[in-house]
Structure 1
């Protein structure tokens, strides 16, 4: 799947250009964090990579191939839970894989223990708290042993304690060998998790640097303004 090479990627949902010739290359290691103002295309880029939307132009190459090898998972800001138990929500995701029932059960129990939900295994998933749901969504993705994990602002609606738990799990998934590509609007979170930063503005990648270098000295004016909380709103009035 790697290197992941994106060339000239364009997307115009509802006729509005959001991604306009985006170029990006990612290795198969570490946590890459996507930053950018609201509407810059962070979520859209993740959905395009997940195959949930078609691009209007450009190419995505997965280690030279036109498609990923299947070892890809995505966790959304508000994950959907099946009307089943916590255990069944994870095990269901494993059915497409060539695993026996015993293997699915063992892998499910293992990841639920890793995310701190072993004691909730028989409970209905829809009765979990927001933080528990997000941990379950991560367990569901982790059980698939993805080579690439896409995360769309996974802690946007969580309190600090739940956020800390989710960040710990993300680090463990990275340590297990998955490449993580995640969007966030939380600069503190980005500094804690990112190995490298992808900054989007005007439909393109304005910067792709190591996290240390990016946060020490962003090169583009858009990135500096974003870091300082000074991005202007441009409103056109009709005359």
Structure 2
């Protein structure tokens, strides 16, 4: 049995840029199963928190540690950006690339790529240049490419922010399936309806810190602070 890379422990972690504190200090443990949704006003540190947890942002202070060595942990997690990063190759090649990089044969990689393309509604686009896909199709491709290696943890930074309802529904369905299959999800969103649909627990970021963290029902039905209550009402919170 493969040992889990979780929990991820953050202890008084700070991210600073050009002498300005962006996030922190943050003390938090990511463990167990399910979906954690990260919400908060613009500029509250949501993206930086996700990037720091994934290893894309260097910490200035504090300690970040996975249950396994960093190299092992980094190979068993993925990240989906708000603006998808697509290689100038076919849909098939975009999806197969992570598997060939991991040592799979071209045949195995192509077969898996075809299955994942079908899951996200791109089964008829395998030979098309990925650069010619619509915005929603590119995000579906990015999600499938992130999940094709079956990561233990998947971070997503507002993956549905620029999508219509139909594309959002497809992506949410794929995410629910991934969660059911054991992938731990951590995702930021501005869509409170999406947060209610997907979350098992919610992190509310404010001023670069975790202002509140609670199970989804407690968070929405009984917010613990006036700032959280104001944010959920749609008021401006700074």
Partner of 1:22: 26
Summarize deviations over 1:129-169 as a string: whole Å, max 9, x none.
11111110011011111010000000001111111111111
Question: Relative to 1, partners in 2 of residues 1:45 and 1:170: Cα closer, same or farther, differing over 3 Å?
Answer: same
- What's the offset of the Cα at 1:20? 2.0
2-side partners of 1:88 and 1:107: how far apart?
11
Pick aligned residue for 1:105 from 81, 106, 110:
110
Q: Are 2:50 and 1:46 aligned?
A: yes
Pick aligned residue for 1:196 from 193, 201, 204:
201
Moved over 6 A (4+): none
2-side partners of 1:100 and 1:75: how far apart?
25
Pick aligned residue for 1:72 from 77, 82, 104:
77
Which aligned pairs between 1:16-165 and structure 2 lie closer than 5 A?
16-63=20-67, 65-66=69-70, 68=73, 70-165=75-170
- What's the offset of the Cα at 1:126? 0.9
Alpha carbons 2:8, 2:64 under 8 Å: kept: yes
Normalised TM-score (structure 2): 0.93
Q: Are 2:7 and 1:3 aligned?
A: yes
List gaps (5 residues or longer) in structure 1. 234-239
- What's the offset of the Cα at 1:230? 1.4
2-side partners of 1:17 and 1:69: how far apart?
25
Alpha carbons 1:72, 1:148 under 8 Å: kept: yes
- What's the offset of the Cα at 1:172? 1.2
CA RMSD of superposed structures (Å): 1.4
- What's the offset of the Cα at 1:51? 1.6
Which aligned pairs between 1:148-187 and structure 2 lie closer than 5 A?
148-187=153-192
Summarize deviations over 1:216-238 as a string: whole Å, max 9, x none.
111022211111121245xxxxx
- What's the offset of the Cα at 1:65? 4.4
Alpha carbons 1:30, 1:174 under 8 Å: kept: yes
Alpha carbons 1:23, 1:204 under 8 Å: kept: no
List gaps (5 residues or longer) in structure 2. none
Summarize deviations over 1:74-132 as a string: whole Å, max 9, x none.
00001111111000011112222131222111211111111111111111101111111
Alpha carbons 2:161, 2:189 under 8 Å: kept: yes
Partner of 1:236: none
Normalised TM-score (structure 1): 0.93
- What's the offset of the Cα at 1:26? 1.5
Aligned length: 233
- What's the offset of the Cα at 1:28? 3.5
Question: Relative to 1, partners in 2 of residues 1:232 and 1:174: Cα closer, same or farther, differing over 3 Å?
Answer: closer
1-side partners of 2:14 and 2:212: how far apart?
18
Alpha carbons 1:32, 1:196 under 8 Å: kept: yes
